[in-house]
Amino acid sequence: MCKNLNISSVNLKDLLLSNTDSIDIRDCYVKTGIEKILASMDQELVGLKNVKTRIKEISSVLLFDRIRELQELGSLNSSLHMSFTGRPGTGKTSVAAKIALVLRNLGYLTKGHLTNVTREDLVGQYVGHTAPKTREQLKKAQGGILFIDEAHHLYKPDNERDYGSESVELLLQVMENQRDDLILIFSGQKEKLETFYNCNPGVSSRIGNHVNFSDYNVEELTEITKFLLNNESRYKFADDTIKILIYYIDQLVKFPTFANVRTIKVLLNQLLAYQATRVEDLLTKEGNLKYEDLTTIKAEDFKHFTQDDFINIIGSENVTLYR
């Protein structure tokens, strides 16, 4: 048996099992809603096989730890703060939102919301400004997760007048003293975050779980692109355009500035602009449109791309255009 472990709605005494009870772990996954959350992560996020496996492992440990705690068997009492490393656009924020829901359903968080911040949200530009800004964001995140994107920017040891260290000290105090109902996730590129942790060992020593997000490969990015077009905008690619899409993605992934899904979204925005121009010209010429005209991306839409477009998309004009 396994009763619902959502502590916000269930009395702790109601969760105790007798010595003769058996625990159906599968039942626990279902009744806590964890199975549904993890299934939605699988469906909504392409690729990320290693990340998904790691998140399932973390979820299992938290579930087992909660069961042991409720049975007065002792718990690990390990830190729930996390580190997400990887290049931009690899799904770190989306996965963090799923983790927040798991933690809420297990009673570690009361709300399970995600507060996404950067240095600008936490660090002030003059004396006395940083502490109020950081505390304001911590207050917003209470009951959920404070997700600090590009966290390495918080600390600038080469600038004596920088106030980022003040924010780091406040975050460190919260990690040490306020362990209930607020979890921090530090996010950023692996090498830069490792430098940040080396400079702030107090932070790294209080992080309980590290999750690394690899770049998407060309096949995964192609599927993501089709998913974004179909699910968000109800567009589709004509059959002969997929090879052109792959042609460009294969080049883009080789640039150091490539930011995975973020770059793909910029590419799509420009592509849809060219598709709209074609459809407008078609309407002018023929006076009417078919549904397929409105929703289909064709090969000729790609042919409008210029080198200037790729300066905006990837920061370089060294992309061979498809002609």
Q: Which residue has the higher pLDDT, 29 or 35?
A: 35
pLDDT of 28 > 80? The answer is: no
The pLDDT > 90 percentage for the chain reads 62
Average pLDDT, the chain: 87
For residue 291, what pLDDT band results from cuts at 50, 70 and 90?
confident
Angle between helices 49-70 and 92-105 (to 10 degrees): 20
CB atoms within 10 A of CB 88: 18
CB atoms within 10 A of CB 175: 20
Q: Domains in the chain and their CATH numbers?
A: 12-212 (3.40.50.300), 218-314 (1.10.8.60)
pLDDT tens for each residue of 239-273: 899 999 999 999 999 999 999 999 999 999 999 99
Least trusted range by pLDDT, from 30-34, 199-203, 204-208 = 30-34
Alpha carbons 3 and 228: distance in angstroms, whole number: 38
Residue 57: its H or E element: helix 49-70
Continuous H helices in 149-241:
164-177, 190-199, 201-204, 218-233
User: Is the distance from CB of 90 to CB of 261 less than 8 angstroms?
Assistant: yes
| Cα 112 from chain centre | 15
pTM: 0.84
Which residues are bridge partners to 188 per DSSP? 85
Instruction: Please report the pLDDT score of residue 322 as a whole number.
Output: 93
Alpha carbons 21 and 23: distance in angstroms, whole number: 7
pLDDT tens for each residue of 43-80: 889 889 999 999 999 998 888 887 777 767 766 667 89
